[in-house]
Amino acid sequence: MKQPDAPAGPAAATRELIRFDQVTKRFGDHTVLDRLGFSVDAGKHVTLIGPSGSGKTTILRLLMTLAKPDEGTITVAGRQLFPAGEKQIREIRKDIGMVFQQFNLFPNMKVLRNITEAPVTVLGLSKDEAEERARELLDLVGLGDHVDKYPGQLSGGQQQRVAIARALAMRPQVLLLDEVTSALDPELVAGVLDVLRDIARSTDITMLCVTHEMNFARDISDEVLMFDSGRVIESGSPDKIFNDPEHARTREFLSAVL
Ligand code: ADP
């Protein structure tokens, strides 16, 4: 049954969640992002590819307010990130979950507590509600039997899956994934990517991924942005970017990594 407040028609169905407008970021005299513009609609899975040092991680760090742009504007769900008061930044950060290369779990907390900690302290969930949510997510990432372990008792791939569950426990609107498999032993990569494929398929979460896993990018992306020297030099569907790239630099990059 149609809900009375459900958005009507295709125009209402697209909602811009992230927007970069003329964003420049410099470190010293090195311009890492150069008047960058792109946007991500809610529910879409967008992948950033390109050579090392082209500025991809910096984009995720700006969204997490771990770095500040020198020029330009960044908005998340219509709210501007810089400048923004502390309260607004806290609100925006609740909408954003991030999974890092290094899993960054709390080593002294069991798996369950790693996941419940922020929902209890930041969102104000009761311990029972947070544990119920955590157990569902641990099932989703295939670790339902590991709630009582410490991170150090898990493989890197399992720790990364806990980190994914931990990010999702905050029910963010967008999940930022920064080369989440690059610190893993090769035999553990597939398990983590399968979990992410599953999440991309079965939830409506927006994803912004930096990855060197081109098959994964091809599978999950609605749009792929090819970066070089702090700018998007080409963007499009995975089919276009991987099978029919326009830019010589994209062809060169893909032939080196595929
Ligand atoms: P990518 O993710 O595409 O590999 P990054 O965003 O990590 O690229 O980095 C882009 C460039 O910015 C690199 O040349 C990197 O050395 C530089 N850089 C990133 N963070 C810092 C920092 N905190 N201080 C100085 N330079 C930085």
3 CB less than 6 Å from ligand 1? Answer: no
Q: What angle do CA 55, 166, 64 make, to 5 degrees?
A: 30
172 CB less than 6 Å from ligand 1? Answer: no
In this prediction, residue 13 carries a pLDDT of 62
Q: What gap in Å lies between CA 71 and CA 78, rounded to an integer?
A: 18
Global pTM? 0.93
- Asked, for residue 2, whether it belongs to a domain, the answer is no
List the chain pLDDT tens, one digit each, 258 residues: 434 444 444 445 689 999 999 999 999 999 999 999 999 999 999 999 999 999 999 999 999 999 999 999 999 999 999 988 899 999 999 999 999 999 999 999 999 999 999 999 999 999 999 999 999 999 999 999 999 999 999 999 999 999 999 999 999 999 999 999 999 999 999 999 999 999 999 999 999 999 999 999 999 999 999 999 999 999 999 999 999 999 999 999 999 998
Nearest to 39 by CA among 74, 82, 88: 74
Q: Whose CA is nearest to atom 1 of ligand 1?
A: 53
Q: Whose CA is nearest to atom 24 of ligand 1?
A: 27
Question: How many structural domains is the chain composed of?
Answer: 1
- Asked, for residue 6, whether it belongs to a domain, the answer is no
Q: Which residues contact residue 132 at a Cβ distance below 8 angstroms, ignoring those fewer than 6 apart?
A: none
Q: What gap in Å lies between CA 199 and CA 196, rounded to an integer?
A: 5
How far is the centre of ligand 1, averaged over its atoms, from the C-alpha of 28 (Å)?
A: 11
- Asked, for residue 85, whether it belongs to a domain, the answer is no
In this prediction, residue 14 carries a pLDDT of 81
- Asked, for residue 247, whether it belongs to a domain, the answer is yes
54 CB less than 6 Å from ligand 1? Answer: yes
CATH number of the CATH domain containing 204: 3.40.50.300
**DSSP 3-state assignment of 150?**
coil
Domain, as residue range, for 249: 41-65+94-257
- Residue reference for tokens 């150090």: 152
Confirm whether the ipTM is greater than 0.85. yes
Distances (CA, A) of 62 to 16, 24, 89: 18, 11, 12
- Asked, for residue 233, whether it belongs to a domain, the answer is yes
How far is the centre of ligand 1, averaged over its atoms, from the C-alpha of 211 (Å)?
A: 15
Q: Whose CA is nearest to atom 16 of ligand 1?
A: 53
- Asked, for residue 36, whether it belongs to a domain, the answer is no
- Asked, for residue 122, whether it belongs to a domain, the answer is yes
Q: Whose CA is nearest to atom 7 of ligand 1?
A: 57
- Residue reference for tokens 């398929």: 201
> Ligand 1 pocket test: which of 32, 70, 101, 226 has the largest number of ligand atoms within 8 Å of its C-beta?
32
Q: Whose CA is nearest to atom 11 of ligand 1?
A: 53
206 CB less than 6 Å from ligand 1? Answer: no
